[in-house]
Amino acid sequence: MSPLRILPLLLASLFAVQADAADAPRRKSGLWEMKTQMAGMPSQGPMQMCVDQASDNVMQERTKEKVNCPVMDVSRGTGKVTIHAVCKHEGVTSTSDSVITGDFDSAYRNDMVVRYDPPQHGMKEMKMVQEARWLGPCKAGQKPGDVIMPGMQKFNMQEMMNDPQVREMMKRQQKQ
């Protein structure tokens, strides 16, 4: 499967996580393995992503540019961040509640529920759990933004986000 074919699912999960994690602690630079399970959807298996501070902020920067979140309540505790957000984008209001636990140096877990009004892509609600663990430094030949999906060649998220074809596809996805 090509990166362009899985991009909508990947972006949906990353967008949701990054939108919720906008005020969460920053991840440690290096290679992270992430397992994402969205209710009602088959698991794609774990993906790996090489991150540094710049690449880890790409999705957050895109989110801040395109989404209006008049409500963003963040509560921090020891090893726990709770986020309640209400965001509006192109006529859709999404209300998300997320509990992120872990230390962001070695592992974290994000339990999230997002409710859409009106329903988006036929969904009123999306439940997602993402578990991530730090594997160590990025592997030789990897650069920040490199993503490795199960059974696929690697691609670079930063380069994809700047590709005009991908940007056009994202616009079409948002209008559906």
Instruction: Provide the number of structural domains found in the chain.
Output: 1
Q: Is residue 67 scored above 50 in pLDDT?
A: yes
The pLDDT mean for the chain works out to: 77
- Helix (H), strand (E) at residue 35: strand 30-38
User: Following DSSP, what letter does each residue of 61-80 receive, concatenated?
Assistant: HHHHHH-EEEEEEEEEETTE
Give Cβ neighbours of residue 124 (< 8 Å, ≥ 6 apart). Answer: 115, 116, 117
Residue 14 C-beta-side C-alpha neighbours within 13 Å: 23
For residue 159, the enclosing domain spans 3-175
Which of the two residues, 41 and 106, has the higher pLDDT score? 106
Residue 47 in contact with residue 148, Cβ under 8 Å?
Answer: yes
Write down the pTM of the prediction: 0.74
Q: Is residue 140 scored above 90 in pLDDT?
A: yes
Q: 171: pLDDT confidence band, cut at 50, 70 and 90?
A: low
Residue 5 in contact with residue 53, Cβ under 8 Å?
Answer: no
pLDDT value of position 23: 55
Residue 143 in contact with residue 50, Cβ under 8 Å?
Answer: yes
Q: Tell me how far apart the alpha carbons of residues 87 and 69 are, in angstroms, rounded to a whole number.
A: 4
For residue 174, what are its two tokens? Answer: 């948002």
